[in-house]
Structure formats: structure tokens, C-alpha cells
Chain A
């Protein structure tokens, strides 16, 4: 069974601070996606990483896929209150059936 461990589970920081969220597994994934979810809404895709070692940037967010495609990180620079939400990583299983395996999520609170 493929599992994704996300850490930390909760993070409360001040506006302007930097943070990193980790997503780790002992399994290899075809690709890994990061979603952001606001209360009362469904998750919205932020990025998909496919190639081992790949780095993608989305404004103040930097996503990295591990060389072995078993882990990923999300780094936010100068966090803002609008970044508050639940961040979920999801790996596409190796069978490529389209089923995603989700991590437990990281709840981020950015205080003004």
C-alpha cells in the first residue's frame, strides 16, 4: 500500500515568515500534485511535478520533487494571510490508474 506522510500537520506563523511543508513516502509515484483547500470548499490544484528533481515556482511558492520521486516539498516565501488553508499533497499511484493517494494535509495559519 502506498502512503504519503505530510509534515508538519499544523503550522501557525506570522505574516512575512518562510515555511516548508514536506511530503514523504517509501513508494515511487508517477507524479505528485499539491492542492490547497479552503474551509467549506473542495481542493484546488496548485501544481503537478512529474520529473525527479523537478522544481516549479508559482509566485512565492516553490515546489520540488525528489530525485527518486518518493518525496516532495512546498516552500512558501514571505507568507501572507491569504496563504492560510489546508495544503494537501497527492501522489499518482504507480499503476497509473488515475487514483490519487493523499497525504494527511498541513493546516497553515498565517497571522497578520
Chain B
């Protein structure tokens, strides 16, 4: 059973607001990932981290930013949310070149 948590599960906000999506894992995994997924579609990697103080942009360009100050915590921030940011955001972690464990996701709606 994977122990990876995301909060909030659902978020509805107005345009221009700053938001932070939280992701935490208790498995001690070095690698963590953020994906963006539209309903019923594939996952697009937007950020990843191979350890503390290491962050890289993924294959899909995103206006969001991430930080990795602690191994277990990988928050994603949008400084000024727009309707185009409406999507599901999934966080995952892994020990290496191997299984990724996913959190339940945050469904974000920007009005």
C-alpha cells in the first residue's frame, strides 16, 4: 500500500488567485513527480525531482513552480491561476527506475 497524499482533493477558485497543491509521501522515496491530466486522457509530466533541492521541468510546459526542501514534501504553486489551468494534478513518487506510486490527485477548477 503506497503512502502518498495530496491535498486538497478538490479546489474551485477564481482567476488570479495564488494556490499551492500539497503532496507528501512517507516512503522515503527520492524521486517525485507532478503530472497534469485532463479527464480520461494521458498523463503529462510537468515537474520532477530526484531529491532535496533538485527540481526539473517536465515534458509539458507549465506556468506552475515546485520546491523540494524536504524529501517527503513536493508542493506545486500557481502564482496566478487562470481557467486554462483547470485540470487534474497527480503527484507520484518512486525509489528509482521502477514503479511510480500515485496520490489520489487534486481536481482544480479555475473560474
Pick out which of these stretches binds chain A: B63-71, B72-80, B97-105.
B97-105
Do B42 and A99 touch across chains, with their CB atoms under 8 A apart? no
Size of A's binding interface in residues, CB under 8 A: 24
Q: Which residues on B sit within 8 Å (CB–CB) of A88?
A: 42-43
Bound-state Cα–Cα, A69 to B41, Å: 24
Among B9, B43, B96, B107, point to the contact of A102 (Cβ < 8 A): B43
Q: Which residues of B contact A86 (CB under 8 A)?
A: 40
Residues of A within 8 A of B105 (CB): 40-42
- CB pair A102 B42 closer than 8 Å: yes
Q: Select which of A30, A40, A43, A98 is within 8 A of B94 by beta carbon.
A: A98
Please measure, in the bound complex, the distance between the C-alpha atom of A8 and the C-alpha atom of B75, giving whole angstroms: 35
B40:A98 contact, CB within 8 angstroms? no
Q: Which of A15-57 contact B (CB under 8 A)?
A: 30, 33, 35, 40-45, 48
B interface residues, how many (CB within 8 angstroms) = 26
Is A42 touching B104 in the complex (CB atoms < 8 A)?
yes
Q: Judge whether A80 is part of the interface by a CB distance below 8 angstroms.
A: no
CB pair B41 A105 closer than 8 Å: yes
Q: Check B97–A96 contact: CB distance below 8 A.
A: yes
- Is B42 within 8 A of A40, CB to CB? no
A100 within 8 A of B: yes
> Given A43-B90, A100-B45, A104-B42, list of 9 further CB < 8 A pairs?
A40-B9, A42-B105, A43-B102, A44-B102, A45-B100, A90-B43, A98-B98, A105-B41, A107-B40
